């Protein structure tokens, strides 16, 4: 009996030991031990070798920059330029006076930025990329940055630039969570943008996702709170090149409509409304607030917006681009950057609206208009007209 009891105790001990080892094998790999490190500066392919990174810089064996904690008063935590080698930046905690990661004028076959945390400063950017194509920015967290991700071409469209931005989280971003400028193709999916209760805006207008002069964007399954999506292009074809599906703004659907006619949106439950190449559209009695840009009429005709309220839209309440015969009547605009922003449009009637506490009540650029019987109260600039 003593032998059996001892054998049973050993079995229980062995089983318990195996369970503990299995649990540890699951938990331990998820624990990241980051090493404190000085800022990393790479200005040529040869500079990768100075840091003894894993990898050789090929697509199959990229350099790996990982598991660092870099907190610095220098401009950049990691700066890379003029390289062609492939590399991955992952599992780092980065904070610098300007940019967490800055990549410029490079042509790697593989460039992945994943599972990093960026703690920013008011004027800083988490990830800034200039004139570099093919970056994949996946599953990162951006907190308290001036901007989250900024990708731009400084050489017009002479170089094809595309990017993928997926599964990232943006918290308390004071300007743009994602900024794209002159990008040829982009995928923006499954990202989240939010603000803590009591977040105080600084001297900048936050614009959420801001895409300017950028074509062929796939925008899917993103969720933004207290902010929205701003898309500004000056060609109809560019607006029509986008794929926009299943995005949520302040708990409501983001409406992006192309080539439709004869529709009325009354007391609409959309978080934002974009109309592209549409005609005879009416938006009435709707509240579009805290969403960057309430209504965008882009290359539309014979449309109207009346009896709507636009408050705290950090780009504009209503934007009209390349459109004609647009009636804007009896709307209320309060505490926006632009109440109305109108450019390259014809025959825009602006009648009996109220503009209060905006930076600009009406900003009209290269357009014909009729502006009558509106109330302007406590705006920094009531009307700004540019020919």
Domain with CATH 2.160.20.10 in the chain: 32-227
Q: Tell me how far apart the alpha carbons of residues 148 and 208 are, in angstroms, rounded to a whole number.
A: 10
pLDDT for 156:
56
Model confidence, pTM: 0.89
Q: Tell me how far apart the alpha carbons of residues 71 and 213 are, in angstroms, rounded to a whole number.
A: 34
Q: Tell me how far apart the alpha carbons of residues 231 and 204 are, in angstroms, rounded to a whole number.
A: 18
List the chain residues with pLDDT less than 70: 1-32, 122, 156-158, 198, 200-204
Helix (H, G, I), strand (E, B) or coil at 239: helix
Chain segment 128-167, per-residue pLDDT in tens: 999 999 999 999 999 999 999 999 998 755 578 999 999 9
Structure tokens at 108: 């790697």
Q: Tell me how far apart the alpha carbons of residues 179 and 167 are, in angstroms, rounded to a whole number.
A: 16
* Residue 70 · residue 96 · CB < 8 Å: yes
Fold of the CATH domain 32-227:
Pectate Lyase C-like (2.160.20)
What are the residues whose beta carbons fall under 8 Å from the beta carbon of 22, sequence distance 6 or more?
Answer: none
- How is residue 23 annotated by DSSP? H
* Residue 355 · residue 379 · CB < 8 Å: yes
Structure tokens at 207: 């614009």
pLDDT for 202:
57
Task: Please name the residue that has the structure tokens 């579009």.
Answer: 288
Q: Tell me how far apart the alpha carbons of residues 119 and 99 are, in angstroms, rounded to a whole number.
A: 10
Q: Tell me how far apart the alpha carbons of residues 230 and 143 are, in angstroms, rounded to a whole number.
A: 21
pLDDT for 160:
84
Helix (H, G, I), strand (E, B) or coil at 261: strand
Q: Tell me how far apart the alpha carbons of residues 197 and 171 are, in angstroms, rounded to a whole number.
A: 11
Q: Which of 110, 30, 14 is nearest to 62 (CA)?
A: 110
Q: Which of 328, 330, 332 is nearest to 319 (CA)?
A: 328
In the chain, what is the straight-line distance between the N-terminal and C-terminal CA atoms, in Å? 102
pLDDT for 8:
52
Q: Tell me how far apart the alpha carbons of residues 228 and 51 are, in angstroms, rounded to a whole number.
A: 41
Q: Tell me how far apart the alpha carbons of residues 184 and 259 are, in angstroms, rounded to a whole number.
A: 23
């Amino acid at each position: 009996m003593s032998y059996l009891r001892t054998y049973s105790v050993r079995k229980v001990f062995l089983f318990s030991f195996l369970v503990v080892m299995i649990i540890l094998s699951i938990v331990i790999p998820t624990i990241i031990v980051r090493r404190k490190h000085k800022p990393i500066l790479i200005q040529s392919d040869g500079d990768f070798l100075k840091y003894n990174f894993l990898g050789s810089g090929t697509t199959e064996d990229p350099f790996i920059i990982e598991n660092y904690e870099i907190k610095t008063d220098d401009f950049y935590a990691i700066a890379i330029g003029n390289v062609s080698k492939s590399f991955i930046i992952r599992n780092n905690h980065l904070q610098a006076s300007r940019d967490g990661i800055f990549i410029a004028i490079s042509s790697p076959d593989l460039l992945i930025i994943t599972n990093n945390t960026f703690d920013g400063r008011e004027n800083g950017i988490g990830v800034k990329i200039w004139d570099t194509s093919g970056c994949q920015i996946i599953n990162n967290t951006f907190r308290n940055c001036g901007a989250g991700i900024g990708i731009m071409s400084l050489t017009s469209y002479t170089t094809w630039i595309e990017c993928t931005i997926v599964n990232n989280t943006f918290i308390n971003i004071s300007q743009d969570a994602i900024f794209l400028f002159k990008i040829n193709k982009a995928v923006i999916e499954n990202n989240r943008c939010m603000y803590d209760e009591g977040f105080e805006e600084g001297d900048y207008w936050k614009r959420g996702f801001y895409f300017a002069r950028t074509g062929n964007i796939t925008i899917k399954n993103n969720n933004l709170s207290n902010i929205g999506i701003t898309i500004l292009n000056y060609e109809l074809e560019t607006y029509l090149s986008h794929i926009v599906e299943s995005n949520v703004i302040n708990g409501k659907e983001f409406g992006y409509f192309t080539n439709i006619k004869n529709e009325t949106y009354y007391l609409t439950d959309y978080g934002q409304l974009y109309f592209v190449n549409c005609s005879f559209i009416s938006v009435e009695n709707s509240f579009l607030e805290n969403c960057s840009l309430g209504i965008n009429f882009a290359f539309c005709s014979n449309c109207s917006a009346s009896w709507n309220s636009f408050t705290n839209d950090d780009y504009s309440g209503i934007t009209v681009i390349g459109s004609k015969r647009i009636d804007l009547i009896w709307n209320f605009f309060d505490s926006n950057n632009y109440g109305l922003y109108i450019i390259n449009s014809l025959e825009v009637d602006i009648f009996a609206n109220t503009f209060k506490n905006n930076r600009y009540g009406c900003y009209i650029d290269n357009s014909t208009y009729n502006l009558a019987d509106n109330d302007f109260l406590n705006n920094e600039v009531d009307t700004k007209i540019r020919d």
